A and B are shown apart, each in its own frame.
Chain A
Amino acid sequence: MPEQLFFTKLLNSIFAGPVTHLLRGLHIEPQYPQAPITNALSMEVLVVGFLLLLFIIVRSRLSVETPGGLQHLFEGLHGFIEDQSRDVIGHHSERFTPFLVALGLFILIGNLFGVVPGLESPTASAVVPLGCAVCAFFYYQAQGFRQSGVGYLKHFLGPMWWLSPLMLPLEIISHLARVMSLSIRLYANMFAGDMVTMVFFSLIPIVVPVVFLGLHIGVALLQAYIFVLLTTVYLAGAVATEH
């Protein structure tokens, strides 16, 4: 039996049977059939549930005359990401804001869960940042195709037609390397933060680890911002049209 957090034990006690059946139906044998839900998955579910609760509370208390504190916070966040995407992408960038805000909030809250005792960051496991990076990759490719149709493939051929046999494999590799760099940057920052906190906790258990928790919070904010910023830059590369 693997080591499980409290929420993972709760989910596994209710859902272990159906989830194992589902996995076996897909020809995947779970490593521990009594505990098929991993810590990362249960923490992801908790992040999504927490965010949904937050969104429902804000939506039910929306008001134009007397906005509450939470509404100010969400308006500020929405405005910040909309301004930034307008700076990077240009006009007509408002249609990307919902995806970017959702991605940014998921990664931010996921990172910050690591600070709370009894919870861990889902982004500190290798697969969750990979999932976020793959989502961002397919999103900006889909937006590129939506904008330019099949002509989007000309982006991969480089500036001049006689360079295209050289540019095509380079462009494909660089686009795939974006997925790798996005996911490894987020995973390594979160995982290394956890490791460093544990190392210093094992050396000096009294006051010094608090400094590393503060560092973890700072790195969590910065890495969520960088992920959203880089996704915006890749969107700009896919969608931008020269006038």
Chain B
Amino acid sequence: MRNTLGVLKNVFMALSALCFAVPAFAQGGTSGGANWVAISAGFGMAIASAGCGIGQGRATASATEALARNPSARAGIQFALILGLALIESLALYTLVIIFAKVK
């Protein structure tokens, strides 16, 4: 109980120290504004790549498990794996194309 209170105290002190950075937002308004398109493009690409990574990870995991259970079915499993990975990859690539189209 005492340890939790100590940890919470440190957490709130760190959060209040972060509030010292608030004047940085004032700077952006006068000098023309931050490039929100580029910032959101970075976040969008990161989210798309994360989703793609999770999807491809699951596809590869189940393909390797199926191969371990039934090594004689290698041709069919390999075919389905390559097809599935390429289709999932292309979803992340659509995000990349939008970024190239919109970010100067």
- Tell which of A184, A225, A229 touches B93, judged by Cβ atoms closer than 8 Å: A184
B90 touches A184 (CB 8 A): yes
B83 in the interface (beta carbon within 8 A): yes
Write the nearest CB–CB distance from A106 to chain B, whole angstroms: 19
B86 touches A188 (CB 8 A): no
B93 touches A226 (CB 8 A): no
B93 touches A192 (CB 8 A): yes
* Chain B binding surface, main DSSP class: helix
A21 in the interface (beta carbon within 8 A): no
Which residues of the other chain, B, contact A187 by a CB distance below 8 angstroms? 97
A222 touches B96 (CB 8 A): no
Closest Cβ neighbor of A195 among chain B residues: B100
Query: What is the CA–CA distance of A192 and B100 in the complex, to the nearest angstrom?
Result: 10
Closest Cβ neighbor of A88 among chain B residues: B79
- The contact string, 1 if C-beta is below 8 Å from chain A, for chain B 89-102, is 11001101100100
B97 touches A226 (CB 8 A): no
Number of interface residues of A (CB under 8 A): 16
Of B79, B82, B83, B93, most buried by chain A (CB within 10 Å of CB) is B93
- Tell which of B82, B93, B100 touches A189, judged by Cβ atoms closer than 8 Å: B93
- Tell which of B83, B94, B96, B100 touches A226, judged by Cβ atoms closer than 8 Å: B83
A181 in the interface (beta carbon within 8 A): yes
Write the nearest CB–CB distance from B99 to chain A, whole angstroms: 10
Closest Cβ neighbor of B101 among chain A residues: A126
Given A226-B82, A226-B83, A229-B83, is A185 in contact with B90 using a C-beta cutoff of 8 Å?
A: yes
B interface, how many residues as a size bin?
10 to 19
Write the nearest CB–CB distance from A108 to chain B, whole angstroms: 15
- Tell which of B79, B82, B93 touches A185, judged by Cβ atoms closer than 8 Å: B93
A188 touches B93 (CB 8 A): yes
B96 touches A188 (CB 8 A): yes
A145 in the interface (beta carbon within 8 A): no
Which residues of the other chain, B, contact A87 by a CB distance below 8 angstroms? 79
A188 touches B97 (CB 8 A): yes
A184 touches B86 (CB 8 A): no
Which residues of the other chain, A, contact B86 by a CB distance below 8 angstroms? 185, 222-223, 226
Given A181-B90, A184-B94, is A191 in contact with B83 using a C-beta cutoff of 8 Å?
A: no
Write the nearest CB–CB distance from B88 to chain A, whole angstroms: 11
Which residues of the other chain, B, contact A230 by a CB distance below 8 angstroms? 83
Q: What are 7 A-B contacts defined by CB distance under 8 Å? A: A184-B93, A185-B86, A185-B90, A188-B93, A191-B100, A192-B93, A223-B86
- The 3 A-B residue pairs with the shortest CB-CB distance in the complex, in nearest-first order: A188-B93, A185-B90, A226-B86
